[in-house]
Amino acid sequence: MLFGAHVSIAGGIFKAPTNAAKIGCEVFQLFSRSPMGGPAPSLTKTIVADFTSAMKLNNQAEAYIHTPYYINLASVKSNIYQSSIKIIREELERASTLGVKYIMTHLGSAKDTPRKEAIKKVSQGIVKILAGYKGSALLLLENSAGSGNVVGDKFEELAVMIKSLSATDRKKIGVCLDTCHAFASGYDLKTSAMVNQTIGKFDKIIGLKYLRLIHCNDSKTEFSVHVDRHEHIGMGKIGLAGFKVLVNHPKLKKVNFILETPEDERGNQENDLKILKKLRG
């Protein structure tokens, strides 16, 4: 189990490993393009070589790419749906070029679409994304907090998406579990018993073999209110006790943790990393 955070690529994507090392990351997450829109910066041979070199120089074991915020595989608008498929596939290819292990994506909002129909649409989108894909990076589906009819807040929904894929495509897929999203959508993580119950549900419904990464975020909001508000580790409604159980859980030893906590007057990701490392012992 290694710890890291989402870091900036300001000045070039090859700067990310250095930015990660500066705050104590062992692994890290990044955007390979603007999360708000626009074309992706080209990945020349020089840029890829500089990124690879920086990974080694800064002792970063792995890196992960987060897809842009505007992705919506549940959209009824054809241009948004098709663009989401295109962008996610591009990110898989870019990750493979960079030697990045995973990309993870939010799934999108169903809005007024019936839930089953929306889940089917997302599943079909995933099939299209993976069609003919031969790269090395895996696609991770991130659970949601469920606000605004965003799909994927329940383990059962993620399981349906995975089970709808062919055996070949299932080997290219995984899950990124966000602790804040899980807590907000009704999976408690405050105590040892609650963590064990949630991990047990995940294993029974989805399967722990699909759990490839954890977004480690405390929650500003109360349990099961379906509101996504990240908080510093130990300052939110999950609390230090829950995170101590998570980072020492025997079934999560091979799963790395990525922070997406805020930068404000009360703390930053560097401090949150120190807390996680202390909890890990």
pLDDT of 210 over the 90 cut: yes
CATH of residue 36: 3.20.20.150
Report pLDDT for 37: 86
How many domains, in total, are found in the chain? 1
Report pLDDT for 49: 98
pLDDT tier for residue 230 given thresholds of 50, 70 and 90:
very high
Give the pLDDT mean for 250-258.
97
The answer to whether 158 touches 206, Cβ cutoff 8 Å, is: yes
DSSP 23: T
Share of the chain above pLDDT 70, in %: 100
DSSP 40: P
Give the pLDDT mean for 246-266.
96
DSSP 246: H
pLDDT tier for residue 111 given thresholds of 50, 70 and 90:
confident
Report pLDDT for 147: 85
Share of the chain above pLDDT 90, in %: 95
pLDDT of 157 over the 90 cut: yes
Report pLDDT for 141: 98
pLDDT of 278 over the 90 cut: yes
Helix (H), strand (E) at residue 93: helix 78-98
| pLDDT per residue as tens digits for the range 80-90 | 999 999 999 99
Total residues belonging to the chain: 281
pLDDT tier for residue 213 given thresholds of 50, 70 and 90:
very high
| DSSP 3-state of 50 | helix
Report pLDDT for 189: 98
**How deeply is 112 buried, as exposed, middle or buried, from its count of CB atoms within 10 A (0-12, 13-18, 19+)?**
exposed
The answer to whether 211 touches 159, Cβ cutoff 8 Å, is: no
pLDDT of 148 over the 90 cut: no
pLDDT tier for residue 101 given thresholds of 50, 70 and 90:
very high
- Residue 205's domain spans which residues? 3-280
| pLDDT per residue as tens digits for the range 170-202 | 999 999 999 999 999 999 999 999 999 999 999
Report pLDDT for 99: 97
Taking alpha carbons only, the member of 219, 211, 214, 143 closest to residue 188 is 219
Report pLDDT for 197: 98
| pLDDT per residue as tens digits for the range 11-58 | 999 999 999 999 999 999 999 999 988 889 999 999 999 999 999 999
Report pLDDT for 112: 82
Give the pLDDT mean for 269-277.
97
Give the pLDDT mean for 215-219.
98
DSSP 208: G
| Backbone torsion region of residue 244, taken as left when φ is above 0, otherwise alpha when ψ lies between -120 and 50, otherwise beta | alpha
Give the pLDDT mean for 257-270.
96
Torsional sign, CA 118, 124, 129, 130:
positive
Name the β-bridge partners of 178.
215
